[in-house]
Amino acid sequence: MSRTSDRESLAALTLGAMGVVYGDIGTSPLYTIKEVFSPATGVPLDAVHLIGAVSVIFWGLMLVVTLKYVLLILRADNRGEGGIMALTALAANAAGKTPRRRTALLLMGVFGAALFYGDSVITPAISVLSAVEGLEVATPAFKSYVLPISAAVLIGLFAVQRFGTGLVGKLFGPVIMLWFAVLTITGVTEIMQQPAILAALNPLNAFEFLRSQGWHMFVAVGAIVLAFTGVEALYADMGHFGKRPIQLAWLGLVLPALAINYMGQGALLMRDPSALENPFYRLFPQAWLIPAVVLATLATVIASQAVISGAYSMTKQAVLLGLLPRMQVQYTSAKEIGQIYMPEVNWLLLVSVLLAVVGFGSSSALASAYGIAVTATMLITTALTFFVVRDGWGYPLPVALAATAVFLALDTLLVVSCSLKFFQGGWFPLVLGLAIFLVMATWRRGRELLIDTIRHDDPDLLPFITALSADGVHRVPRTAIYAVANPDTVPQALMHNLKHNQVLHDRNVILTVVFHDVPWVAFEERVQVKPLVPGFWRVQVNYGFKNKPDIPKALELCQAQGLPINLFETSYFLSREIVVPTKGAGMAHWREALFAIMSRNAGSVADFFRLPNNCVIELGTRVQI
């Protein structure tokens, strides 16, 4: 019975992985072949080059996706979690022998995470646009409606995010399964009419195609890379589905369906070069075009959903790691902690996506913008994996180099190739990623300066409370929780309470919340309690970057360590620092001003830590940095 249950669970997870993980890479056939042979690339549209280009795509899927991600990188899990943030933490902990080396690895990973946001903007825009453009194939009369329909679909997609993905999530797998089945059937139909395309299975044809292009090879590869976009989702969603379901879905259905469809499009173009106008939709009979557009639109919406959800997850992790200011997080599922909604991220993404759709105007124009951010993230992932293999897994240097050198070379080729499209739109996701990286770096550095200033200006905690306990200050019978960033100095809220109210609570807890660069912190490690002087305790609450912060729930765990806390007789005192930028040491003045704006608009501490609103007292203080 247990074995049957395990099989059913594996099947369900594999089906879910098809819907969420492979939506992005699974919709790449909509535009890849068309862009490879577009006039801008200059690749001749003949049998030899068609076979060669399809061969490069096939062997790229085998090397980049199958060998690199499915077989190697999925092994680099951080307590079951994947994604570039989890990999960064893993690499930094394994290889960060010195502070400088650790900082370099963390900066590399943070930059890769920032570039992910560029992908989060481009993917919904190009996917939905390329699907809706099928209407033009059905009849040119629809051409003027492509942009409005695409914008309406995207607005609808972002508008329903607040309801969570739980309701529609169960439909993702079956729809994507149907999508891959259609890719296979249409591809097989064309291959049967032009079986010569099967020569693409020979890797020598891929090599000959690249060799014959000379320096022009980089232009061709810059278009072929569109077939690999979305590959980072394999690793990023490992925590949701597990390694084995993702591997089974890829090897069992996704890879064969994609390979067959790309070969089918190549076979179609060998037989009918005029189909280059839109080779994907020309695979379908005229009567099936509208249903094909509807199915493709559904598939691209699912692909977009995966990237949008990934942006929420990435932002939450960045907030918990101290790289972004606090933002509102809504948990949309009682069962799945990964299903969250972040309003600020949602609407900023929507505005960015609509600007991309209107600004670029077509999937072909967006294809020029697609690639740099994605391939740069892939390169960073491979570089970080080297340190995990070498230092985390303890393999000898030759083995670590052998495991990653080929992939580093491939990723470098992809990045260089996509860089040629910089002025055609490639600047867009890159500038977006750099801006987000700057925001992250400014917030992190600003928090360091703020804490250093507080530590310098405020008195040390232990001597202060030792003298305080001997002074006989009037006490009131409640518990006071003072949330602080630095547990070694006196909380501003405590000093304000003594100065203005001239009272001290019977029980005072100096609370520090620490977010560690691991995905999860177990309940038995969640709190650490240390008595200080009579009436004072220091409590540290530990979270991982995928944990759900809940301070009242964490404080209940203090009882096991000798500190029972009655939550109904507890007040939470918070210090809100009003940052005042000053010229001089620290950051550039404009960065300090940016940090001040972010600090002023950061989300509520009470909401972020799920504190009861009727028990919170917030006291402000001005801090110059």
Residue tagged 């007789």 (tokens): 569
- CA–CA separation, 527 and 539 (whole Å): 7
- CA–CA separation, 72 and 389 (whole Å): 10
pLDDT at residue 209, as a whole number: 95
- CA–CA separation, 259 and 57 (whole Å): 8
pLDDT at residue 1, as a whole number: 41
Do the beta carbons of residue 129 and residue 293 sit within 8 Å? Answer: no
- CA–CA separation, 286 and 508 (whole Å): 75
- CA–CA separation, 501 and 478 (whole Å): 14
SS (HEC) of 91-147: HHHHHCCCHHHHHHHHHHHHHHHHHHHHHHHHHHHHHHHHHHCHHHHHCHHHHHHHH
Q: What is the DSSP letter of 566?
A: -
- CA distances for 402 relative to 284, 386, 407, 542, angstroms: 44, 10, 9, 38
pLDDT at residue 78, as a whole number: 77
Give Cβ neighbours of residue 23 (< 8 Å, ≥ 6 apart): 172, 176, 230, 233, 299, 300, 302, 303, 304, 305, 306
- CA–CA separation, 377 and 390 (whole Å): 20
pLDDT at residue 334, as a whole number: 53
Give the torsion through C-alpha atoms of 121, 124, 128, 130, to 10 deg.
60
Domains observed in the chain: 2-425 (1.20.1740.10), 445-624 (no CATH)
pLDDT at residue 117, as a whole number: 86
- CA–CA separation, 415 and 471 (whole Å): 67
Per residue in 541-577, pLDDT (tens digit) is 999 887 889 999 999 999 999 899 999 999 999 887 7
pLDDT at residue 263, as a whole number: 97
Average pLDDT of each block of 10 consecutive residues along the chain (625 residues)?
Answer: 60 77 88 91 92 96 94 83 83 81 88 86 88 81 87 90 63 84 96 96 95 89 90 78 88 95 97 92 91 89 80 84 86 61 91 92 83 88 92 89 92 91 87 92 90 80 85 83 88 83 88 87 91 93 88 93 91 85 82 91 87 86 78
- CA distances for 479 relative to 22, 232, 509, 529, 570, angstroms: 51, 47, 8, 15, 5
| 375's tokens | 């391939």
